[in-house]
Amino acid sequence: MIAGTVLVAGVFVLLVSGCASTKSSAPVLERASMAQKSPTKTRKDEDFRPQTYTVQKGDTLYGIALEHGFDYKEVAEWNGITSPYTIHIGQSVKLNASPQAVVVTPLKTGAAVGSRQAGDDLLLKTQPKAVKLAYSELAEKPSMAKEESQDKPAPAELPAEKKEGIQAEDDERVEWMWPTVGKVIAPFNETSSNGKGLDIDGKSGQPVLAAGPGKVVYSGNGLRGYGKLVIIKHNKTYLSAYAHNHKILVKEGQSVTRGQKIAEMGDSDADQVKLHFEIRRFGKPVDPIKYLPSDKS
């Protein structure tokens, strides 16, 4: 009788432990499955431009700057190149302005730490010198200045990651518009050397407008195949180019607004009157149709 009781109790214990094991393992498997299905956040394409570029036959500083999305004057400054901006085949051109490390030179006292020699007292005197400040009413009424400063609390500081996110969005944002009115006679073609943008039909003298706000970083006819050309830098990411103009109405360094007339359409270095329009992201041509509004007006 006792043996039978022991046997039944043993079976009961095994059943209970088996149920407990099953219940405890299920949530673990479920969490593991959910973790695998959770989406991963992907970052936007980072700046893919090289640090340097080796000059090839036919290159100009203007062309190198355009192909990498920079102001040619910036590139010239980074490399110590002055007007007329001559470059040579095989020359290595820097394409960034990396800040140089600050070198801190220790003060030489002529003695090791812990020892003192004659003249050390002059080096150790660090009390502030008397400085005569300009007259200010607030200087005579410190309590008033304190009250005014308390009335204007400093804005809350954003976390570093929030600042980076806002900056990244600002560098990507351009409110684009069509640079002129007309039929697209040649679409963007990434595989063609002549299809880096759109060709838009029009009449000689027709207004060419800035497709977005920015700064004119090139105005001239120094790039072969573009004729009279205007390049606008919109932010750290985007440039836009306007080629084959009859007349240019803006100067380098000039700030322009969205929709401002910057040139008149023409056929300079082209087989017909047209506007060749490009949008470049970090210097790489992208299809303007993907950025321009569907309404051309």
> Average per-residue pLDDT in the chain?
73
Instruction: For residue 82, give the CATH number of its domain.
Output: 3.10.350.10
Q: Which helix (H) or strand (E) holds 279?
A: strand 274-281
Range of the domain at 204: 184-290
Instruction: Compute CA distances 251 → 152, 185, 220, 255, whole Å.
Output: 42, 29, 9, 9
Residue 270 lies inside a defined structural domain of this protein: yes
Residue 33 lies inside a defined structural domain of this protein: no
* Residue that the structure tokens 């099953």 belong to: 22
Tell me which DSSP letter residue 290 carries.
G
> What's the domain count of the chain?
2
Residue 199 lies inside a defined structural domain of this protein: yes
Residue 20 lies inside a defined structural domain of this protein: no
123 contacts: CB under 8 Å, gap ≥ 6: 107, 109
Question: Which of the listed residues 42, 68, 94 is the one where a domain comes to its end?
Answer: 94
Residue 256 lies inside a defined structural domain of this protein: yes
Structure tokens at 198: 């759109």
Question: Which of the listed residues 64, 94, 124 is the one where a domain comes to its end?
Answer: 94
Most confident of 59-73, 85-99, 147-161: 59-73
Taking only the tens place, the pLDDT of each residue in 226-281 is: 999 999 999 999 999 999 999 999 999 999 999 999 999 999 999 999 999 999 99
Residue 235 lies inside a defined structural domain of this protein: yes
Q: What percent of the chain has pLDDT over 90?
A: 42
Q: Tell me the Ramachandran region of residue 249: left when phi exceeds 0, alpha when psi lies from -120 to 50, beta otherwise.
A: alpha
What's the pLDDT at 74? Answer: 87
pTM of the complete model: 0.61
What's the pLDDT at 171? Answer: 60
Q: Roughly how many angstroms between the first and final C-alpha of the chain, as a whole number?
A: 99
Q: How confident is the model at residue 192 (pLDDT cuts 50, 70, 90)?
A: confident
Question: Which of the listed residues 94, 115, 150 is the one where a domain comes to its end?
Answer: 94
What's the pLDDT at 190? Answer: 80
Instruction: For residue 194, give the CATH number of its domain.
Output: 2.70.70.10
What's the pLDDT at 55? Answer: 93
What's the pLDDT at 220? Answer: 95
Residue 194 lies inside a defined structural domain of this protein: yes
Residue 3 lies inside a defined structural domain of this protein: no
Q: What percent of the chain has pLDDT over 70?
A: 59
Output the furthest CA–CA distance in the chain (Å, rounded).
114
Rounded CA Rg of the chain: 34
